[in-house]
Amino acid sequence: MRFAIVITLFSLFWLMLISRIYQISIKSNYYYENLAHNNIERKYFIKPVRGEILDRNGELLAVNKIGFSIKIAPHLKKSSNELNQTIESIVKEFPDYNSTKLLKKYTKKNSAYNHKFIKIIDFLSYDDMIGAYPKLTINKLLKIESETKRYYPVGNMATHVVGYVARSNKKDNAKDDVVAKVGVVGRTGLERQYNDVLQGELGYRMVRVSATNREVSEIEKKEPLEDQNLVLNVDLRLQRKINELFVDQSGVAVVMDVNGDIIAAVSYPSYDPNLFVGGISSKNWKVLINDFNHPFTNKIISGLYPPGSTIKMGMALAYAQSGKASLDANEYCKGYIKLGKNGHKFRCWSRWGHGSVPLRKAIRESCDVYFYNKSLQVGIDMMSKYLNTYGLGVKTGVDLPREKSGVIPTKAWKMKRYKQPWYLGETIIASIGQGYDLITPLQLARYTAFLATKKLPIPHVVHKIAGKLVEPEYQKPELNEHHLATIRRGMYDVCNTPRGTARRAMHNLPIKVAGKTGTSQVVSIPQGEKKRMLESQMEYYSRSHAWFTSYAPFDNPKYVVSILVEHGGHGGSTSAPIAAEIYRWMYKKGYFEGGETSIEVE
């Protein structure tokens, strides 16, 4: 028995010994080889300079400020006089920094295996550093290197288009080696969409070093791929003009070439993207997220709103394509229709009615009953099918991140979402852009370009990517051209004839505009209310959203202007005047004459 115990212990001892020898001599060989190699050669990455973002006229929207970072030599003990005196010398020159925090930052990154200088201050501006530079460079434990920091010189003028960069986190760093080395990543807008392009590619230097970590020679060097710029279709001058027009209101404006080039896109109110570059304070963050007007939301592509009467042109084309309703047949409007055994009333906006209504008049005067009656003949599924092909309730494909698709409902959609059947009354209200209907302002602009040209463009903010031109893209949905011509004449009437719903704002322009107003209700009207309360008498957040969408010139469409004023009431009185000012500005700047519109920047 004793012999068996001795043999067992002896065997265990030798197994442990052999296992340890294996770990040291074989398994750890690769680790120690790399460590030895690292003692001879060093690879220093060269960070690329992030590309700039410019408007169509060469004005800078996103640039890089030149500055400096401060690094301290590794392997200094936390309690050493050398380290503490070095940090105190930094704080003496830059009193805004705390010595305790800098020491903590250093010790967190310090390691026996780290032979690289440790960054403790990420960025100091040129002006701040210039006086302190001669004093700090005397200390051999310090290394001062050039750095860049993203800066947005126009502040909040184009935030929802350009976006911003912010400090990267562990998840970002794990996905992208360049992000991990640079330390910043595009969070929103074009900065996010084109982050891979803008950030470029890392360069490097391979050097041979001595045992004391001094460079002996350079083995290899590769320059970084950098300065990959974006040139936009956006005109910053127009962005500024639109921001001025939206003061004291909230909403969206989209100005687009009919080929899809976005000339201006404003989501108002906005915010200063520079707040996020170095990390936003909790105070500023709370102000943004607690604002009921949602400045942080990119309403251009993510704001979802009932389209109201702006849907009527597409709805008419859907009726024609379905083959179930004749647009050549008039509808009689007495101010409402009744549905069901209870005689539920669906009212027209005009309590007196419009009488006999042909298609052109239905567009010009925005008669609801015309669309109610046709919708009952066609049905919601057919309506939805064609509206999707005209660009409503689907993503536009714009080169901006986090776009929402919205909703143009079907029976199957409602059953999946709410586990409820579809009702005829819901078809009626969907026909005038209410109920479940939700679209984005950019969808409306794109759909308007389709009405103007018969081609559905893919919107583009960017004109050139690192010098490469972005070509226009189109889809060509099927449509009835005869009825489209009538619809266009109705849109012309909206802006230019006495009974047009936008005539007051639009008729006195240097160009002829075709358009459509829309009022999308935020709250429903009770059945018992015979006379509707005026929008001005309602609480602000209960007022309807005001739409106006248009194109010009009427006879040769070049540009689309779509406006949404949140809780603005009526499109004709609130949104159309903003569009009129935009058209006047564009005409003055030569947009309709061929002047001042070329993109010169390479």
442, 421 Cβ separation under 8 angstroms:
no
Q: Quick one: tokens of 199?
A: 């950030």
Angle between helices 312-322 and 368-378 (to 10 degrees): 30
The secondary element (H helix, E strand) that includes residue 491 is helix 481-496
Give the separation between CA 372 and CA 429, rounded to whole angstroms.
7
497, 572 Cβ separation under 8 angstroms:
no
Burial class of residue 212 in the structure, from the number of CB atoms within 10 Å of its CB (0-12 exposed, 13-18 middle, 19+ buried): exposed
Give the separation between CA 326 and CA 310, rounded to whole angstroms.
21
**Segments in 264-378 forming alpha helices (H):** 274-277, 282-289, 312-322, 359-364, 368-378
Taking Cα atoms as reference points, which of 441, 430, 461 lies closest to residue 301?
Answer: 441
Q: Which of 309, 375, 384, 544 is catalytic?
A: 309
The secondary element (H helix, E strand) that includes residue 8 is helix 2-22
Give the separation between CA 366 and CA 581, rounded to whole angstroms.
23
Q: Catalytic annotation on 573? A: no
Taking Cα atoms as reference points, which of 162, 151, 255 lies closest to residue 587?
Answer: 255
Give the separation between CA 500 and CA 366, rounded to whole angstroms.
9
Give the separation between CA 497 and CA 515, rounded to whole angstroms.
12
Q: How many helices (H) and strands (E) does the chain have?
A: 24, 23
Question: Does the CA dihedral 54-58-60-64 come out positive or negative?
Answer: positive
Q: Distance from CA of residue 364 to its chain's centroid? A: 34
Give the separation between CA 494 and CA 505, rounded to whole angstroms.
10
Q: Quick one: tokens of 130?
A: 């210039």
CA–CA–CA angle 119, 155, 230 (5° rounding): 75
Question: What length is written for the chain?
Answer: 602
Sorted by sequence, the CB contacts under 8 Å of residue 221 that are 6+ apart come out as 203, 204, 205, 206
Q: Catalytic amino acids?
A: 309
